[in-house]
Structure 1
Amino acid sequence: MRIGRRTPRRATDGRRTSGGPKERGNRIVVLDALRLIAALMVVFYHYVAFGEGWDGPQAQLFPVIFRPSAYGWLGVDLFFMISGFVICMSCWGRSVADFFTSRVIRLFPAYWLGVLATTAVVALVPGGLEPHAWREVLVNLTMLQWPVDVDHVDGVYWTLWAELRFYLLFALVVWRGLTYRRVIAFCCIWTTLALLAKGYGSGPLSDLFMAQYCWFFIAGLAFYLIYRFGPNLLLWGIVALCFAMGQHTAMQTWRRTLQHVGHNVPGWGVAVLLAVFFAVLAGVSLGWFHRINWRWLPAAGALTYPLYLFHESIGWEIFHHLQHRVDHWTLLAGTVAAMLLLAHLVHQLVEKPVANRLKLHLSTAFAQVRAADTNSHPHPRPAHTTRPAPDTATHEQQTLVTTAPH
């Protein structure tokens, strides 16, 4: 099958239609629901099944929800699929500078506060988790603790390094400009490199190409191409390959989780949940959920990132100190509600204002870089004209600032 240039399908009245779900602006609201589900899956995995915070065995404390919560770690795989879909969608037609700016203002404001808040809670509350050295905290603020072998301030931060590696690899395509053919080529090349790296065992190449988790990012990219350009055999083939490889790698992760949950849960649940994830993303790309357009979903989706960042260690400290004074069901429900409220406050009071400031400063910085580069290679004026050259620096700065991503 030839990988040719494709254009989005259009309706007869001129509106773009990809068969996809309804959007608010550039936001597919059904994905906000999926993000919230994925975040809550991870929360309940850490609160109910992981084996930290509670003195008694969770299988006895929460017999009704323990088994489904034990599969909550699969929410991370769903996050990765959504990330592949959304990053491809948001980067279409944008530059590397736009891509970099959008990722920084999305990831770092809430993350910086999460690192500092978690460090403070762990240090100030006695008898719980072991505090981290201040040097480790400083490294964590860069989000680069994994490659320099420094412990995470909070265990959930490992997924952020996976996201950063995806951004690094995908930036190569954004640099050239996203097209159907280039994204397809990227998926095929990443698949090949991941398989080769996996064949040589664990090492730097396997870490870079994420042979364990790349299948979910690649599936998300393929689903977005289906959403934007329509389905075909090649795209479904990529999805099928990712599903098969994702099942294989997820079962490896499932075996490792058994030692954390302290209770045997059947492996067929992993296969079923992954099949549901792929079916739902296929439905998103084909427009099965086009009627879902509830106004509260974008607000709910905005809670997912701060909820993910803050819930683990702080929640465990709450359980450790209150479990013998408060009914465990009440404590669990109250902690989840408190974390959702905290996530809302972080989004409104930290993420939004800090992101706006960072966006302005980064856009100005990139404009100055472009202006300096332009001025270092001036275009010679024709000999017959005496009109002064335009103020290139001002023009470049205005252009970048006004086209920065929203």
Structure 2
Amino acid sequence: MTETVVSTRTPRPGATVPAEPPGATTVPRRGRDSGGRLRALDGLRLVAALMVALYHYGGRDGEVAQAWGTSPRDQFPTLHSLFAYGCLGVQVFFVISGFVICMSGWGRPLTSFFASRASRLLPAYWAAVLLVTGVFALPVVAYQAVSPSDALVNLTMLQMPLGVDRVLGVCWTLWAEVRFYALFALCVVLPGANRRRVIMFCAGWMLAAVIAENADMPLLDIVLMPEYAPFFIGGVGLYLVHRDRRDVHGWGIVAVSWLIGQHYAVQGLWHAPNPEAFSYRSSFGIIAVVTFGFVAVAAIALGLLGRVNWRWLTVAGALTYPFYLVHEHLGWVVIHALHRGLGLPSGVTFALTVASMLLLAWLLHKYVERPLTPRLRAALTKTR
């Protein structure tokens, strides 16, 4: 959810190509996959973000029911059960993240990798934390704001391990992303990325995560993230397939990741049919959405969606991260104002809320990310 899809371009004739570390296994890129930005991946990121928005606006109870005035089940008697599957957009994000982080970390020094990730994550995140904190502090907004101290801690992005109240409900996924970045940086980027090292990283992390599941050691759960590791690892495997579609090890990583990933998704989201529950997610439906995420990224990795190359998808990809950050809590405020304040129908309110959050995301991208991201990256990569 936080990645910029980088270009995969071949060097100019006569240009010097940095050699991989000694002992590295060089895997040539396919010519047809080396010619530009993967815009289909940008589009898929927006699809995943909209899935999560469907869930937060109409696929669950809780604070959003306060915004609507009644349960979303009453607002969307048929669609609410479909919206409930939208939470799986997070798993789709994690598969995309594995692909993109492996792509962007390949051949890049640790300092550059760190600067790229920090400058991509932090400007919009800081702006979103300050914006949501400010809006929730307004007397006319009927939601409880976090304390000033907790809001300041949220700026570090370490509120989850510190047990501090969150300003952004979605920040738990960022904490998972940060842990993935740290593991990948230490195990792959720092020693130098190559095919053998990436394969060993995937195999070692998967085995360790499975063992940690039953080790009853909270620290291992925090570091290894058993329930999310298969999705990140599957994305990394798909990048190996992107480099060489005949890579048997890459396909094996993807297959095992899908098999274990769907298990964790069903384990975490399925429950027996219960008329008292908000909605019912079938195991088949959960597996289908997880499979969609893997298949969609695989199609992009194999170049099957090369014709999906519309320029507006680049803009869509740029809006995804700021939209993801602000859509949940500020969306509740908009829903309350439009539906309960102005009396607009549920469907119109839903559409206008999504549109307003996309507009806000565009403003954050233009006035926060564009000016601050390159400056922060330059500051972090500056050598003394």
> Fold conserved (TM > 0.5)?
yes
How big is each residue's C-alpha offset from its partner over 1:153-193, in whole Å with a ceiling of 9 and x where there is no partner? Answer: 12111000000000110011101111000000100111111
Given the alignment of the two structures, is residue 41 of structure 1 paired with residue 51 of structure 2, yes or no?
Answer: yes
Deviates more, 1:120-129 or 1:199-208: 120-129
2:300 counterpart of 1:284 = yes
1:145 aligned partner:
159
Q: 1:125 to 1:247 in 2, by over 3 A?
A: farther
Indicate conservation of the 8 Å contact 2:80/2:279, yes or no. no
Indicate conservation of the 8 Å contact 1:139/1:145, yes or no: yes
Deviation at 1:352, TM superposition (A): 0.9
- Counterpart of 2:13? none
Kindly state the Cα deviation for residue 319 of structure 1 after the two structures are TM-superposed. Answer: 2.1
Using the TM superposition, give the Cα deviation of residue 277 of structure 1 relative to its aligned residue in structure 2, in angstroms: 1.6
Q: Which residue of 1 aligns with 2:106?
A: 92
Q: How many residues are treated as equivalent by the alignment? A: 354
**In the alignment, is residue 167 of structure 1 matched against residue 177 of structure 2?**
no
User: Which residue of the other structure, out of 230, 233, 250, is the alignment partner of 2:265?
Assistant: 250
Q: Quick check: 2:40–2:305 contact (8 Å CA) kept in 1?
A: yes
Contact in 2 for aligned 1:6/1:229 (Cα 8 Å): no
Once the two structures are superposed, residues 342-394 of structure 1 have per-residue CA deviations (whole angstroms, 9 ceiling, x without a partner) of 10111011011011211221122xx11xxxxxxxxxxxxxxxxxxxxxxxxxx
Quick check: 1:208 aligned with 2:215?
no
* Contact 1:128-1:320 at 8 Å conserved across structures: no
Spell out the pairing of 1:6-405 with structure 2 (5 A cutoff): 6-10=26-30, 16-17=31-32, 20=33, 24=36, 27-51=37-61, 52=64, 53-126=67-140, 128-172=142-186, 173-201=188-216, 203-255=218-270, 262-324=278-340, 325-364=343-382, 367-368=383-384
Deviation track 1:92-133 (CA, whole Å, cap 9, x = no partner) reads: 111000000000110000000100111111111446221100
Report the Cα offset of residue 23 of structure 1. Answer: 5.1
Instruction: Please state how far the C-alpha of 1:151 moved relative to its aligned partner.
Output: 1.7
What SS does the corresponding residue of 1:177 show, helix, strand or coil? Answer: coil
Give the aligned residue type for 1:280.
Answer: A
CA 1:164/1:43 → structure 2, altered by over 3 Å: closer, same or farther?
same
Cα distance change of structure 1 residues 347 and 67 upon mapping to structure 2, 3 Å threshold: same
- For 1:231, the aligned partner's letter is R
How many angstroms does 1:261 deviate by?
Answer: 7.0
- Residues 49 and 261 in structure 1, CA contact (< 8 A), matched pair in contact too: no
- Larger radius of gyration between Structure 1 and Structure 2: 1
What TM-score, normalized to structure 1? 0.83
RMSD over aligned Cα atoms: 2.1
Looking at structure 2, the residues matched to 8 and 218 of structure 1 have their Cα atoms a distance apart, in angstroms, of 21
> What 5-or-longer segments of structure 2 have no aligned partner?
1-22
Structure 1 CA distance, aligned partners of 2:273 and 2:120? 33
Q: What amino acid is the match of 1:117?
A: L
Deviation at 1:292, TM superposition (A): 1.4
Matched-pair contact (CA < 8 Å) for 1:96–1:171: yes
Query: Residue 94 of structure 1 aligns to a residue in which SS?
Result: coil
Contact map agreement 2:199 2:249 (CA 8 A) in 1: no
Partner-residue secondary structure (3-state), 1:230: coil
Q: Percent identity?
A: 45
